[in-house]
Structures are given as structure tokens and as C-alpha cells.
């Protein structure tokens, strides 16, 4: 990860970082507010929204005259699921998102379904196979890809970096995250001699959840690790593109 290292050396490196709660939405709410989940109100992932009386970093900077943008790569960070506020531009860069998820009314349905299952422990109260199937489809098919995220960040910088306002740009990468399917050549970078049939797809992930490693061989497990490492290096390459664009716009020292 030479470019993540480059970013760390040029910025502030935290040697003692503690995750306030190990899921996406609660963690991001803490990052943007500086308070614990029991204060900002986001505990149940994709159910709880940020409380209205808690201010985000983006809101504060927006009030101070900044142009604010959030470019994110995972569906749970959409406003209807997270409640994150304060961005003049807020764009979901997830790919393979089922079309129904673009309808905000469906977000409300999913939240209601999850509330019934998580809080009331009545997962079968709504016997809506279509709704459940769409939710499963979101979890299994929607992904973020670092190159798509970086493309959007570069476009935003080209259009806004030299505007009349100072800017705050949050770029959220989904990689590395399952499914472990980095593009070539990163898919072969760390285990080129593997000859088995195991890949990093959601089929493999579901198998591991259900069976631990089951009958996977050490070579199979090593290959999954290698795919994960390939996703890290792919993301590192894309971080380089973002940093190079900031360099080319003369912003690195500002």
C-alpha cells in the first residue's frame, strides 16, 4: 500500500484508533459527529437515523461557507438509511444497485421490515417474499468499486476545486470488502499459481458463514486471503489517482 502510506505520512496518523461500534452506519455517524452511538442515536444499522440535534462536520463546514460533498460507495449511507446531513452534493456510487432501491419509498419499506425483525423479533410478521428478496439482492449484488469512486471524485474536483468557496470533500471507498473480486491484474497478484475452484464471490462468503471453512483446503483459504490483498492493492492504486489529481490541481500544499 505505497499510496495509503504516502497519504498517512503527509497527514495525521492515528496509532490508537478505536471503532465505536462495529458496523457501517454507527461508525460513520461517530466519525462525522465526534460522539458515541448512544449520543448520536445510530445503533441499529440501516434502521436508526442520526438524531436531529447532533451536528455533523459537514453541517458545521457548510455553515462556515464551505462547498461540501460526500461521494460514497455503499447503499447504507444513503440519507434514508443513515441520516447523514450537511452535504451540498451527496452521491451514491454503488454499482449493481437494484432499480427499486432508487425509489425512496422502498427505503421506508425496508426500514419498517428491519424494525419489525430486529426490535420486535417478529421477522415473519410481514410475509412479503418480494420485499425480502429485494433486500437480499441489495446485500448480495450491490458493491462499491474504487475506480468508480475515484472517477467521481476526480470529476468533482475538476468542477469545484477552484470555485469561489473552500471545499470539504469526503471520498468513501467500499473496497476492500466482500465479495473479494478485484479486477485484473490484482486478482492474480498474490496467488498466481492457484488451480482450485474457490473464488471470492458471495457464494463463497455465504458458505464460510454457514460452515466456517468447512471442507476448504489451506490452498483455498490462502487464495481468498490473496484476493482480499489484491482488493487492498487495487484500492491503493485508486488512492494514487486521487492524490495525483489533487497534486495536478495545485492543492496538495493547501
* Residue-wise pLDDT tens digits, 89-104: 999 888 766 555 555 5
What DSSP line would sit under 168-184, residue for residue?
Answer: EEEE----S-SS--PPT
Q: Rounded to 5 degrees, what are φ and ψ at 170?
A: -100, 120
pLDDT tens, position by position, 114-136: 554 444 444 444 444 444 444 45
Which set of grid coordinates corresponds to residue 208?
464460510
pTM summary value: 0.84
Distance between first and last Cα of the chain = 24
Range with lowest mean pLDDT among 54-68, 122-136, 209-223? 122-136
Determine the length of the chain: 254
Which set of grid coordinates corresponds to residue 48?
436508526
Q: What is d(CA 246, CA 160) in angstroms, rounded to the nearest whole number?
A: 12
Identify the three-state secondary structure at position 216: coil
Amino acid at each position: 500500500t505505497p499510496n495509503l502510506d504516502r497519504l498517512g505520512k503527509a497527514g495525521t496518523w492515528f496509532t490508537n484508533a478505536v471503532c465505536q461500534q462495529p458496523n457501517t452506519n454507527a461508525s460513520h455517524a461517530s466519525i462525522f459527529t465526534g460522539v458515541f452511538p448512544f449520543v448520536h442515536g445510530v445503533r441499529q444499522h440501516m434502521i436508526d437515523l442520526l438524531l436531529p440535534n447532533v451536528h455533523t462536520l459537514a453541517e458545521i463546514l457548510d455553515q462556515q461557507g464551505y462547498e461540501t460533498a460526500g461521494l460514497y460507495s455503499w447503499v447504507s449511507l444513503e440519507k434514508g438509511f443513515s441520516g447523514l446531513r450537511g452535504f451540498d452534493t451527496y452521491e451514491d456510487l454503488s454499482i449493481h444497485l437494484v432499480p427499486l432501491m432508487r425509489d425512496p419509498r422502498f427505503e421506508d419499506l425496508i426500514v419498517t421490515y428491519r424494525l419489525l425483525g430486529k426490535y420486535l423479533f417478529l421477522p415473519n410478521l410481514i410475509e412479503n417474499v418480494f420485499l425480502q428478496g429485494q433486500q437480499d439482492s441489495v446485500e448480495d449484488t450491490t458493491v462499491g468499486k474504487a475506480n468508480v469512486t475515484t472517477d467521481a471524485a476526480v470529476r468533482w474536483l475538476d468542477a469545484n476545486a477552484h470555485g469561489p468557496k473552500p471545499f470539504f470533500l469526503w471520498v468513501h471507498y467500499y473496497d476492500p470488502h466482500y465479495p473479494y473480486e478485484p479486477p485484473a491484474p490484482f486478482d492474480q497478484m498474490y496467488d498466481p499459481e492457484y488451480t482450485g475452484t474457490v473464488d471470492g464471490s458471495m457464494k463463497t462468503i455465504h458458505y464460510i458463514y454457514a460452515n466456517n471453512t468447512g471442507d476448504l483446503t489451506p490452498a483455498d483459504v490462502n487464495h481468498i486471503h490473496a484476493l482480499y490483498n489484491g482488493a487492498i492493492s487495487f484500492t491503493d492504486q485508486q488512492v494514487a489517482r486521487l492524490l495525483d489529481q489533487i497534486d495536478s490541481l495545485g492543492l496538495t500544499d493547501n
